[in-house]
């Protein structure tokens, strides 16, 4: 590019020299045609190295070259054209031959016109005054002011034609800057003008060197200022990046944060128009466009921006300034910059910026700055999203740990209970205290009667007697255990169903719901108790969550786990009861066994003796039972024992204790019975056994059996339970000796 620019510059200089020799040959006379290439070269340097003056901005010294040139050439038109050629050569060197645009040609023409105007005015008026006087200086200032004013007016016209914004303050400031530059540069112009006027080459050389030294000094000063400003800009950029690092936790869905971000970026990398496309998850509601400026809104604008992101290689900034590219935001855009907003794991959006034809294309360092800034924003947002995700996961884990702890607590409660009532009371209390429900009700299902019996509760003490007196029919409950209300293993019936269940317990003082997930007083949550065969055992009903919300999935899962544990505990209680029963019951007769009778009789007789409460003992033995076994077999004998045992059970009170004492012998403990009362019980039992028909398979007539009974009582027959038992046994044998089928 540099080599091509230099070659183009050399050709341009040769062309300009040949052009003016040709013009001079055909009559467009200029004095000193040898000076044409030098003047073009001076114009090139003037346009190539603008001078920055504090308060005036960046200015060129083309008029410092133009006025001496018109004195040397004596032709204002040629001097102006040479200025335009010098400007075009400078732009070709700066941008390359292919980088020239129509705007550069327009600038060259306007520069030539303004210089021609100023030089013509000077050559027309300077013969009227004395050279070197105050009037001559006034004419020089007037000509320079006219040239700069024309140039300023053309500049404003160009901004108006391209749609660039203007305001009175900007117009005033630019006009004053131009005129101040006239005053500042006029001494140098006057110094140089004297030498060509008097045709003194040495003076021209010295004055030119003086001017070059001053310009060089200004250039050095401008360079130092540029470095200083670059250092300040770098510091500000670093501060901006640090601020982004601190504030990058802001969401791209926040329009205020986006405006602050885009405003800061545009301050360091100016653009004509720009927009940013924000993608999920930074924009939860879907892709959205934001801009600091008005941008053309069309049905396909977002789709066109999205199309940029579909390019799989768009991981780095992309600068587009080739001729003929399709702009997105500016109809005359000459440069476009695409900067993705992403991290190594997440794409959050895209920045699109465009510059107009009068602006320089985006530079590589500008693209990298935007990329670094937006990467920091994306990294901060990703860190925030990860932090939120981690916090959410942590809260979920904490809740799960709490649920597991609560479940463990309730499980520990279940272990200490081996009876059904204790188990259900523990479950109701555990659910209320651990899972946060103000009231819990547990009912067992009676399949034979098709009803639910309310067994246990927590939080319903004041209403419990009223509640437990009602046994809801199964049909009224089963309709709520349908698939339409099912949530995993639970059943949630919303108040919107409009059918309050007879199983529901209306809480006192429950608040009406405000949010959609608030608990309503008429909401119903049931947890069925089912065994491994899916047989319904009962229902757990919970009401009035303490947080006022419909229970979460974790709470439902905890209720399901507790329901399963309750079923296991109930089954364990049943197994325990069965084992306990087997340990104290006689398997053949269903009565208590000898060991349980001895243990119970010893313990309770001591209590009654200490309290002076009477009690009696019956010792019973079937008469001639060996003959039944020998005649009809042991199976018939077992049937006889079972029938007699059933008769004994139906003949005594619930507080009495009947046991198979051994073989065909039985014993009955009768608390609170005197000897007379005990004898009456014994006579009644003997009489019923005597009249008890026992059908035997293979015989047409039933077998008849009789019973002998011995009775002993406290305190009539002794003070010690051992003595009472011995006397009852002695009385039994006395009954046998006296002829059997009698009470002694």
Name the architecture of domain 416-577.
2-Layer Sandwich (3.30)
Above 90 in pLDDT, residue 240?
A: no
- Full DSSP string of 291-306: -SS-----TTHHHHHH
Q: What is the pLDDT of residue 673?
A: 92
What average pLDDT score do residues 281-295 get? 75
Above 50 in pLDDT, residue 4?
A: no
Helices 62-73 and 168-198 cross at an angle (nearest 10°) of 40
Q: What is the pLDDT of residue 422?
A: 78
Above 80 in pLDDT, residue 241?
A: no
Q: What is the pLDDT of residue 692?
A: 81
Task: Give residue 209's pLDDT band: very low, low, confident or very high (50, 70, 90).
Answer: low
Q: What is the pLDDT of residue 508?
A: 47
Name the architecture of domain 248-387.
2-Layer Sandwich (3.30)
CATH class of this structure's domain 585-737: alpha beta
Q: What is the pLDDT of residue 180?
A: 76
Q: What is the pLDDT of residue 247?
A: 60
Q: What is the pLDDT of residues 464-486, one digit of tens each?
A: 888 888 888 888 888 888 888 88
Closest CA to 141 of 129, 158, 157, 155: 129
Q: Picking from 378-382, 410-414, 687-691, which range would have the lowest pLDDT averaged per residue?
A: 410-414
From residue 211, how far is each of 65, 397, 508, 678, 731 by CA, in Å?
10, 80, 99, 147, 154
Q: What is the pLDDT of residue 496?
A: 66
- Rounded percentage of the chain residues whose pLDDT exceeds 90: 11
| Count of CA atoms in the C-beta half-sphere (13 A) of 136 | 15
76 CB-near residues (< 8 Å, 6+ apart): 70, 116, 119, 120, 122, 123
What average pLDDT score do residues 90-113 get? 79
Which one is predicted more confidently, 111 or 734? 734
Query: Structure tokens of 357?
Result: 């034809």
Helices (H) and strands (E) in the chain, counts: 20, 17
Task: Give residue 687's pLDDT band: very low, low, confident or very high (50, 70, 90).
Answer: very high
Q: What is the pLDDT of residue 258?
A: 80
Q: What is the pLDDT of residue 7?
A: 47
Of 27-36, 182-191, 504-513, the range with the highest mean pLDDT is 182-191
Q: What is the pLDDT of residues 606-646, one digit of tens each?
A: 999 988 999 999 999 999 888 888 888 888 888 888 888 88
Cα separation, 316 vs 344, in Å, equals 12
What average pLDDT score do residues 197-204 get? 57
Which one is predicted more confidently, 699 or 239? 239
Predicted structure pTM score: 0.42
Q: What is the pLDDT of residues 303-342, one digit of tens each?
A: 777 777 666 656 788 888 877 677 888 877 888 888 888 8
Answer yes or no: are the C-beta atoms of 693 and 704 closer than 8 Å. Answer: yes
Query: Structure tokens of 704?
Result: 């008849």
Residue ranges of the domains in the chain? 2-228, 248-387, 416-577, 585-737
Above 60 in pLDDT, residue 6?
A: no
Question: According to the 3-state scheme, what is the secondary structure of 373-440?
Answer: HHHHHHHHHHHHHHHHHHHHHHHHHHHHHHHHHHHHHHHHHHHCCCCHHHHHHHHHHHHHHHHCEEEE
Place of tokens 């007879």: 502
Q: What is the pLDDT of residues 248-286, one digit of tens each?
A: 555 677 777 788 888 888 888 888 888 888 887 777 677
Q: What is the pLDDT of residue 742?
A: 94
Closest CA to 46 of 102, 74, 85: 85
Q: What is the pLDDT of residue 3?
A: 47
Closest CA to 200 of 188, 192, 209: 192
What average pLDDT score do residues 486-504 get? 72
Which one is predicted more confidently, 573 or 740? 740
Cα separation, 507 vs 528, in Å, equals 21
Above 80 in pLDDT, residue 177?
A: no
Task: Give residue 1's pLDDT band: very low, low, confident or very high (50, 70, 90).
Answer: very low
Q: What is the pLDDT of residue 2?
A: 46
Q: Picking from 50-64, 75-89, 361-375, 465-479, which range would have the lowest pLDDT averaged per residue?
A: 50-64
- Asked whether the domain spanning 585-737 has the same topology as the one spanning 416-577, the reply is no
Cα separation, 381 vs 249, in Å, equals 5
Above 60 in pLDDT, residue 12?
A: no
Cα separation, 401 vs 409, in Å, equals 12
Which one is predicted more confidently, 419 or 493? 493
Query: Structure tokens of 569?
Result: 């505990």
Q: Residues 555, 558, 560, 566: is their CA dihedral positive or negative?
A: negative
Question: What is the 8-class DSSP label of residue 549?
Answer: B
Q: What is the pLDDT of residues 558-579, one digit of tens each?
A: 888 888 877 877 776 665 556 5
Query: Structure tokens of 628?
Result: 């039944």
Q: How does the average pLDDT of the chain come out, rounded?
A: 78
84-87: list long-range contacts, CB under 8 Å, 24+ apart: 84/108, 84/109, 84/111, 84/112, 84/115, 85/12, 85/16, 85/40, 85/43, 85/112, 86/39, 86/40, 86/41, 86/42, 86/43, 86/44, 86/46, 86/47, 86/62, 87/43, 87/47, 87/62, 87/111, 87/112
Q: What is the pLDDT of residue 432?
A: 85
Answer yes or no: are the C-beta atoms of 640 and 698 closer than 8 Å. Answer: no
Q: How many CB atoms lie within 10 A of CB 711?
A: 28
Above 50 in pLDDT, residue 96?
A: yes
To the nearest 5 percent, what fractions of the chain are helix, strand and coil?
60, 15, 25
Cα separation, 235 vs 247, in Å, equals 18
649: left (phi over 0), alpha (psi -120 to 50) or beta: alpha
Task: Give residue 8's pLDDT band: very low, low, confident or very high (50, 70, 90).
Answer: very low
Of 295-299, 414-418, 448-452, the range with the highest mean pLDDT is 448-452
Task: Give residue 659's pLDDT band: very low, low, confident or very high (50, 70, 90).
Answer: very high
Query: Structure tokens of 124?
Result: 């027309």
Above 90 in pLDDT, residue 203?
A: no
| Count of CA atoms in the C-beta half-sphere (13 A) of 641 | 25
What average pLDDT score do residues 181-203 get? 64
Cα separation, 5 vs 646, in Å, equals 125
Place of tokens 């406290």: 714
Q: What is the pLDDT of residue 11?
A: 46
- Full DSSP string of 704-721: ---EEEEEEEETTS-SSH
Phi, psi of 89 (to 5 degrees): -65, -40
Question: According to the 3-state scheme, what is the secondary structure of 76-135?
Answer: HHHHHHHHHHHHHHHHHHHHCHHHCCHHHHHHHHHHHHHHHHHHHHHHHHHHHCCCCCHH
Sheet holding 657-662, edge to edge: 657-662, 665-671, 615-622, 707-714
Q: What is the pLDDT of residue 743?
A: 94
């Amino acid at each position: 590019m540099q080599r091509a620019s230099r070659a183009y510059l050399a050709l341009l200089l040769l062309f300009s020299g040949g052009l003016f020799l040709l013009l001079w040959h055909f009559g467009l006379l200029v004095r000193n045609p040898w000076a044409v290439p030098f003047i073009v070269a001076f114009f090139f340097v003037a346009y190539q190295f603008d001078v920055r003056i504090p308060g005036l901005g960046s200015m060129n010294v083309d008029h410092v070259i133009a006025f001496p040139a018109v004195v040397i050439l004596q032709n204002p038109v040629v001097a102006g054209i040479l200025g335009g050629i010098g400007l075009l050569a400078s732009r070709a060197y700066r941008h390359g031959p292919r980088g020239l645009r129509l705007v550069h040609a327009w600038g060259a023409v306007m520069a030539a016109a303004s210089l021609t105007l100023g030089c013509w005015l000077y050559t027309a008026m300077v013969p009227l005054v004395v050279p070197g006087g105050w009037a001559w200086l006034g004419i020089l200032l007037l000509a320079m002011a006219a040239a700069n004013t024309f140039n300023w007016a053309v500049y404003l016209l160009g901004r108006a034609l391209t749609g660039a914004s203007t305001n009175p303050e900007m117009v005033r400031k630019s006009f004053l800057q131009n005129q101040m530059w006239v005053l500042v540069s006029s001494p140098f112009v006057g110094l140089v003008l004297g030498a060509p006027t008097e045709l003194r080459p040495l003076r021209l050389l010295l004055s030119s060197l003086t001017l070059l030294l001053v310009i060089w000094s200004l250039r050095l000063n401008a360079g130092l200022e540029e470095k200083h400003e670059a250092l300040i800009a770098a510091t500000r950029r670093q501060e901006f990046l640090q601020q982004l690092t601190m504030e990058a936790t802001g969401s791209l869905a926040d329009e205020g944060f986006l405006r602050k971000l885009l405003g800061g970026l545009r301050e360091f990398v100016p653009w004509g128009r720009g927009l940013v496309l924000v993608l999920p998850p930074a924009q939860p509601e879907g892709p959205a466009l934001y801009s600091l400026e008005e941008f053309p809104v069309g049905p396909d604008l977002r789709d066109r921006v999205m199309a940029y992101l579909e390019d799989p290689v768009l991981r780095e900034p992309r600068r587009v300034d080739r001729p003929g590219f399709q702009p997105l935001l500016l109809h005359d855009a000459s440069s476009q910059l695409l900067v993705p907003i992403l991290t190594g794991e997440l794409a959050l959006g895209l920045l699109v910026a465009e510059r107009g034809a009068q602006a320089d294309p985006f530079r590589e360092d500008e693209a990298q700055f935007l990329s670094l800034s937006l990467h920091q924003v994306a990294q901060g947002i990703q860190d925030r999203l990860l932090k939120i995700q981690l916090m959410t996961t942590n809260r979920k884990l904490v809740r799960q740990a709490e649920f597991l702890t609560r479940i463990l607590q309730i499980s520990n409660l279940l272990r200490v209970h081996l009876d059904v009532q204790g188990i259900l009371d523990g479950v109701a209390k555990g659910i209320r205290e651990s899972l946060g429900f103000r009231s819990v009700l547990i009912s067992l299902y009676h399949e034979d009667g098709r009803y639910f019996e309310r067994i246990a509760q927590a939080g319903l003490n004041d209403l419990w007697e009223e509640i437990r007196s009602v046994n809801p029919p199964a049909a009224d409950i089963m309709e709520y255990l349908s698939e339409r209300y099912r949530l995993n293993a639970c059943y949630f019936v919303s108040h919107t169903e409009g059918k309050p269940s007879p199983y529901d317990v209306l809480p006192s003082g429950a608040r009406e719901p405000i949010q959609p997930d608030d608990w309503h007083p008429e909401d119903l949550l049931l947890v069925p108790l089912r065994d491994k065969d899916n047989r319904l055992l009962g229902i757990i009903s919970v009401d009035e969550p303490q947080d006022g919300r419909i229970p979460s999935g974790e709470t439902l899962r905890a209720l399901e786990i507790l329901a399963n544990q309750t079923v296991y505990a109930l089954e364990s209680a049943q197994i325990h009861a069965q084992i306990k029963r087997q340990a104290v019951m006689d398997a053949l007769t269903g009565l208590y066994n000898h060991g349980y009778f001895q243990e119970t009789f010893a313990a309770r007789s001591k209590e009654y003796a200490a309290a002076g409460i009477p009690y009696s003992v019956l010792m019973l033995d079937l008469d001639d039972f060996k003959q039944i076994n020998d005649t009809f077999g042991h199976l018939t004998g077992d049937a006889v024992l079972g029938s007699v045992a059933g008769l004994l059970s139906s003949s005594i009170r619930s507080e009495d204790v009947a046991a198979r004492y051994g073989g065909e012998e039985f014993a009955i403990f009768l608390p609170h019975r005197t000897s007379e009362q005990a004898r009456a019980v014994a006579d009644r039992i003997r009489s019923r056994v005597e009249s008890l028909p026992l059908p035997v398979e293979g015989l047409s007539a039933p077998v008849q059996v009789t019973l002998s009974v011995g009775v002993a009582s406290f305190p009539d027959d002794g003070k010690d339970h051992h003595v009472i038992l011995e006397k009852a046994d002695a009385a039994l044998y006395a009954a046998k000796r006296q002829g059997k089928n009698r009470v002694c």
